[in-house]
């Protein structure tokens, strides 16, 4: 059975989407840096193993990263999933999980990396926004892209309405990406791209709902 460790800091809505996807042959573990994270209560209700590594208990980012890695490695993960994990992870941590650490970012990378992506999109006046699942590398929000979903930016949108439209797509593409990984269908290429292999026809790696 494959082991997947999900890192959260808050409500863990993407974690919930992964749990509710009922990924076959998969054991999920939830780890948070926040003892009062809402998502922990949900995970426990679903009978999942949980752990807390409170970043406030450590004198440095490196010390926290080491403790977090120790908690993760107890479960011998095949994949580590960032799901609203609000801590920047150091290069040593990222390299330790290279090729098995993924994140979902609320923009169509490479545009609008970092925080406040919906505000950035509205300020730029783009007509299409979205989200991206990507492998994590030491460079922030720059790793190889697995799958994206696009949504229209509508007249009258504010950050909240746009964020809600994007989040609905996050809940679709994250479980899909994780399932592809667990099935061994994601191949990291030397050019930094991700190849999806396996069954034909290959499923769409860009989800673009119309007229929402």
Q: What is the mean pLDDT of the chain?
A: 95
pLDDT at position 206 is 82
- Per-residue pLDDT for 200 more than 70? no
pLDDT at 64: 98
Does the structure show a pLDDT above 80 at 50? yes
CB-CB contact of 119 with 129 (8 Å): no
User: Exposure string (b/e) for 56-66, b if CB count within 10 Å is 16 or more?
Assistant: eebeeeeebbb
pLDDT exceeds 80 at position 209: no
- 207 — pLDDT class (breaks 50, 70, 90): confident
Domains, the chain, in order of start with CATH, read 1-97 (3.40.50.170), 104-212 (3.40.50.170)
Which helix (H) or strand (E) segment holds residue 173: the answer is helix 159-182
Q: What pLDDT score does 202 carry?
A: 61
The pLDDT of 78-85, averaged and rounded, is: 98
Q: Quick one: average pLDDT of 57-69? A: 98
pLDDT category of residue 208 using cuts at 50, 70 and 90: confident
pTM: 0.95
SS3 of residue 124 by DSSP: helix
Confidence of residue 205 (pLDDT cuts 50, 70, 90): confident
Give the pLDDT of residue 198. Answer: 82
Which residues are catalytically annotated? 105
Q: 128-182: per-residue pLDDT in tens?
A: 999 999 999 999 999 999 999 999 999 999 999 999 999 999 999 999 999 999 9
SS3 assignment, position 162? helix
Nearest CA to 109 out of 186, 48, 173 is that of 173
Q: Is the pLDDT of residue 67 over 80?
A: yes
pLDDT of the residue at 112: 98
pLDDT of residue 212: 47
Contact between 61 and 43 (Cβ < 8 Å)? no
């Amino acid at each position: 059975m494959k082991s997947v460790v999900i890192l959260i800091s808050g409500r863990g809505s993407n974690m919930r989407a992964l749990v509710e996807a009922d990924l076959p042959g998969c054991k999920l573990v939830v780890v948070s840096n926040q003892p009062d994270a809402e998502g922990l209560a949900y995970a426990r209700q679903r009978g999942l193993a949980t752990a807390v590594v409170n970043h406030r208990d450590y004198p440095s980012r490196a010390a926290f990263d080491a403790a977090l890695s120790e908690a993760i490695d107890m479960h011998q993960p095949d994949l580590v999933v960032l799901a609203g994990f609000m801590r920047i992870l150091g290069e040593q941590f990222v390299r330790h999980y290279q090729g098995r650490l993924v994140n979902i970012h609320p923009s169509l990378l490479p545009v609008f990396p970092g925080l406040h992506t919906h505000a950035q999109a509205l300020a730029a006046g783009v007509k299409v926004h979205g989200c991206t699942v990507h492998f994590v590398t030491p460079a922030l929000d720059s790793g190889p892209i697995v799958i994206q979903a696009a949504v229209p930016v509508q007249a009258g949108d504010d950050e909240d309405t746009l964020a809600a439209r994007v989040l609905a797509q996050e809940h679709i593409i994250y479980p899909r990406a994780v399932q592809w990984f667990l099935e061994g269908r994601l191949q990291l290429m030397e050019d930094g791209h991700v190849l999806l292999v396996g069954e034909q026809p290959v499923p769409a790696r860009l989800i673009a709902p119309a007229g929402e």
